[in-house]
Structure 1
Amino acid sequence: MNQNLLVELFVEELPPKALKRLGESFAGVLADSLKAQGLAAADAVVASYASPRRLAVQVANVAAKAADKPVSQKLMPVAVGLDAEGRATPALIKKLASLGADESAVAGLKRVGEGKAETLMFDSVQPGATLAAGLQQALETALAKLPIPKVMGYQLADGWSTVSFVRPAHKLVALHGADVIDISVLGLKSGRETLGHRFEAAKQVVSITNADTYAEQLKSEGAVIASFAERRAEIVRQLAVAAAKVGGGVRAIEDEALLDEVTALVERPNVLVGQFEEDFLAVPQECLILTMKANQKYFPLLDAAGKLTNKFLIVSNIAPEDVSAVVGGNERVVRPRLADAKFFFDQDRKKSLESRLPGLAKVVYHNKLGTQGERVERVRAIAKAIAAKLGVDAAAVDAAAKLAKADLLTDMVGEFPELQGIMGGYYAKHDGLGDTVADAIEDHYKPRFAGDELPRNAVGVVVALADKLETLVGMFGIGQLPTGDKDPFALRRHALGVIRMLIERDLALSLDELLRDAAAAFGALIADASGALAGFIYERLAGSLREQGYSAQEVDAVLALRPQRLGDVAKRLAAVRAFAALPEAAALAAANKRVGNILKKIEGELPTEVKPALLVEAAEQALFAALGEVAPKSEQAFAQGDYTASLQALAALRGPVDAFFDGVMVNADDLQLRANRQALLGQLHGLMNRIADLSRLSA
Structure 2
Amino acid sequence: MPQLLLELFSEEIPARMQANAARDLERMAREHLAAAGFLPEALKTFAGPRRLTLVVEGLPIAQADRKEELKGPRVGAPPQAMEGFLRKAGLTQDQLVERDGVYMAFIEKTGRPTTEIIAEMVEAIVRGFAWPKSMTWGTCKLRWVRPLKRILCVFDREVVPFSIEGIESGDISEGHRFMGDAQPFRVRDFDEYAKGLNDHFVVLDVEERKARILEGCKTLCFARNLELVEDLGLLEEVAGLAEWPTPVLGDMDPSFLDLPAEAIRTSMRTHQKYFAVRDPAREGLAPHFITIANIAAADGAKVIAAGNAKVLSARLSDARFFWDEDRKAGNFEEWLEKLNGVTFHAKLGTMAERVKRIEALAREIAPLVGADVEKAGTAARLAKADLSSLMVGEFPELQGLMGGYYAREGQMDPEIADAIRDHYKPQGPADAVPTAPLSVAVALADKLDTLVGFFAIDEKPTGSKDPYALRRAALGVIRTILENNLRLSLAKFGQADLLAFFADRLKVALKDQGKRHDLVDAVFALGDDDLVRIVARVEALDAFLKTDDGKTLMAGYKRASNILKAEEKKGWKAEGERDLLDDASAPEVQLHDALRLLEKPLAEALAREDFTAAMTELAGLRGPVDAFLDGVFVNSEVAAERDNRLKTLAAVRDAMGQVADFSLVAG
Q: Please report the TM-score for the alignment, with normalisation by the length of structure 1.
A: 0.84
Closer, same or farther in 2 for the Cα pair 1:593/1:331, shift >3 Å? same
Distance 1:552 1:117, change over 3 A: farther
Structure 2 CA distance for aligned equivalents of residues 380 and 605 of structure 1: 51
Find 2:584's aligned residue among 613, 618, 624.
Answer: 618
SS of residue matched to 1:349: helix
Which position in structure 1 is the counterpart of 2:56? Answer: 59
Structure-2 residue corresponding to 1:391: 370
Structure-1 residue corresponding to 2:13? 14
In the aligned structure 1, how far is the partner of 2:180 from the partner of 2:298? 15
How far did residue 192 of structure 1 move? 3.0
Give distance in 1, aligned partners of 2:148 and 2:427. 40
Alignment partners' CA distance in 1, 2:81 and 2:481:
71
**For the Cα contact (< 8 Å) 1:80–1:91, is it kept in 2?**
no
**3-state SS of paired residue (1:484):** coil
1:347 aligns to 2:325 (yes or no):
yes
Aligned to 2:554: 586
Query: Matches of residues 459-470 of structure 1 in structure 2 within 5 Å?
Result: 459-470=438-449
User: 2:106 maps to what in 1?
Assistant: 122
Pairing partner for 2:215 from 227, 233, 237 = 237
CA, structure 1 residues 283+53, in 2 after alignment: closer, same or farther (shift >3 Å)? same
Q: What pairs with 1:508-657 in structure 2 (closer than 5 Å)? A: 508-515=487-494, 530-580=495-545, 581-583=547-549, 584-590=552-558, 593-594=561-562, 597=565, 610=577, 618=584, 623-654=591-622
Question: 1:288 aligns to what SS in structure 2?
Answer: helix
Question: How big is the shift at 1:283?
Answer: 0.7
C-alpha distance in structure 1 between counterparts of 2:416 and 2:572, whole Å: 54
Please say if residues 173 and 191 of structure 1, whose CA atoms lie closer than 8 Å, have aligned partners that are also in contact: yes
Deviation at 1:193, TM superposition (A): 3.2
Note if contact 2:428-2:472 (Cα within 8 Å) is conserved in structure 1: yes
Task: Tell me by how many angstroms 1:256 deviates.
Answer: 2.5
Q: Does 1:688 align with 2:656?
A: yes
Query: Once the 2 structures are TM-superposed, how far is the Cα of residue 127 of structure 1 from its aligned partner?
Result: 2.3
Contact 2:590–2:624 under 8 Å retained in 1: yes
Work out whether residues 26 and 143 of structure 1, in 8 Å CA contact, stay in contact via their aligned partners in 2: no
Aligned runs of 1:344-423 on 2, under 5 Å?
344-350=322-328, 351-423=330-402
- The answer on 1:176 being equivalent to 2:155 is yes
1:307 aligned onto 2:304: no
Q: Deviations over 1:533-588 (max 9, x none)?
A: 11111121123223321224423322221322111223212322343224341344
* Alpha carbons of structure 1 residues 507 and 603: separation in structure 2 relative to 1, 3 Å: farther
Question: Does 2:223 correspond to 1:223?
Answer: no
CA distance in 2 between partners of 1:266 and 1:684 (Å): 67
Output the amino acid matched with 1:255: D
1:84 equivalent in structure 2: none
User: 1:90, 1:563 → 2: CA distance?
Assistant: 62
Aligned partner of 2:417 in structure 1 is 438
Aligned to 2:41: 43
Deviations 1:312-357 (A, max 9, x none): 1111112231222211111111111111111111111121334432
In the alignment, the residues of structure 1 paired with residue 564 and residue 71 of structure 2 have an alpha-carbon distance, to the nearest angstrom, of 54
Please give the per-residue CA displacement for 1:240-297, whole angstroms capped at 9, x wherever unaligned.
Answer: 2222222x2x232322332222122222222211111111111111111111111111
Q: Quick one: distance in 1 between partners of 2:229 and 2:258? A: 19
CA distance in 2, matches of 1:30, 1:587: 46
Aligned-partner Cα distance in 2 for 1:133–1:300:
52
Distance 1:320 1:642 in 2: 66
**2:426 and 2:432 in contact (8 A); partners too:** yes
Question: Which digits, 9 at most, give the CA deviation of each residue in 1:182-216, with x for residues without a partner?
Answer: 11123211223344322213143334465541222
Q: Does 1:133 align with 2:112?
A: no
Q: Distance in 1 between matches of 2:400 and 2:296?
A: 41
SS in 1 for 2:344: strand
Q: 3-state SS of the aligned residue for 1:56?
A: strand
**Following the alignment from structure 2 to structure 1, what is the Cα–Cα distance between the partners of residues 635 and 80?**
70
Distance 1:514 1:423 in 2: 29
1:259 aligns with 2:247: no
2:300 corresponds to 1:332: no
Q: In terms of mean alpha carbon deviation, does 413-422 or 482-491 score higher? A: 482-491
CA distance in 2: counterparts of 1:403 and 1:90, whole angstroms: 74
Change (3 A) 1:236 1:306: farther
Whole-Å separation in 2 of the counterparts to 1:290 and 1:474: 31
Does the CA-based 8 Å contact 2:172-2:184 persist in structure 1? yes
Q: Does 1:476 align with 2:442?
A: no
Mapped partners of 1:261, 1:482: distance in 2: 28
Give the drift of 1:36. Answer: 4.6
Partner SS state of residue 272, structure 1: strand
In 2, Cα distance between equivalents of 1:418 and 1:326: 28
**Alpha-carbon contact 1:49-1:57 (below 8 Å) kept:** yes
Task: Rate the CA distance shift 1:120–1:594 in 2: closer, same or farther, 3 A.
Answer: closer
Change (3 A) 1:412 1:128: same
Q: CA deviation at 1:660?
A: 6.7
Once residues 294 and 114 of structure 2 are traced to their aligned partners in structure 1, the CA distance between those partners, rounded to angstroms, is: 37
2:258 is aligned, of 267, 276, 282, to 282
Aligned position for 2:136: 153
* Paired letter, 1:272: V
Q: Is the 8 A contact 2:400 2:422 kept in 1?
A: yes
* Per-residue deviation, 1:51: 2.8
**Aligned equivalents of 1:591 and 1:698: distance in 2?**
14
| SS across alignment from 1:163 | coil
Counterpart position of 1:69: 65
Cα separation, 1, equivalents of 2:72 and 2:590? 68
Residues 133 and 145 in structure 2, CA contact (< 8 A), matched pair in contact too: yes
Contact 1:408 1:420 in 2 (8 A): yes
How far residue 376 of structure 1 moved from its aligned partner, in angstroms, is 1.5
- Percent identity between the aligned chains? 35
Q: Deviations over 1:147-177 (max 9, x none)?
A: 4121212223xxxx53322111122222235
Tell me, which stretches of 5 or more residues in structure 2 are unaligned?
A: none
Q: Tell me, in whole angstroms, the C-alpha distance in 1 between the residues paired with 2:115 and 2:577.
A: 83
1:470-504 superposed Cα distances (whole Å, 9 cap, x missing partner):
11111111221111211111111111111112222
- Alpha-carbon distance in 2 for matches of 1:295, 1:94: 61
2:106 aligned counterpart, secondary structure: strand
Shift of 1:405: 0.8
User: Is the 8 Å Cα contact of residues 244 and 295 (structure 2) preserved in structure 1?
Assistant: yes
1:19 CA drift (Å): 1.9
Partner SS, residue 445 of structure 2:
helix
Q: Judging changes above 3 Å, is the alpha-carbon distance between structure 1 residues 178 and 441 closer, same or farther for their aligned structure 2 residues?
A: same
Matched position secondary structure for 2:507 = helix
How far, CA to CA, are the matches of 1:23 and 1:405 in structure 2? 40
Code of the aligned partner of 2:577: V
Whichever residue aligns with residue 572 of structure 1, its letter is R
Letter of the structure 2 residue corresponding to residue 626 of structure 1: A
Alpha-carbon contact 2:40-2:57 (below 8 Å) kept: no
> How far apart, in 1, do the equivalents of 2:84 and 2:446 lie?
71
Q: Structure 2 vs 1, CA of residues 464 and 121 (structure 1 numbering), >3 Å: closer, same or farther?
A: same
C-alpha change, 1:320 and 1:551, in structure 2 (3 Å) is closer
Give the secondary structure class of the aligned counterpart of 1:165: coil
Following superposition, the deviation at residue 18 of structure 1 comes to: 0.8
2:315 maps to 1:319: no
**Contact 2:6/2:153 (8 A) holds in 1:** yes
- Where do 5+ consecutive residues of structure 1 fail to align? 82-88, 516-529
* 8 A contact 1:152–1:165 mirrored in 2: yes
Determine helix, strand or coil for the equivalent of 2:368: helix
Residue 685 of structure 1: how far off its partner (Å): 4.3
2:179 matched residue in structure 1? 200
Look up the equivalent residue of 1:14 and give its one-letter code.
I
Q: CA deviation at 1:696?
A: 2.9
The question of whether the paired residues in 1 share the 8 Å contact of 2:578 and 2:648 is answered with: no
Task: State the Cα RMSD in Å.
Answer: 3.5
Distance 1:694 1:617 in 2: 32
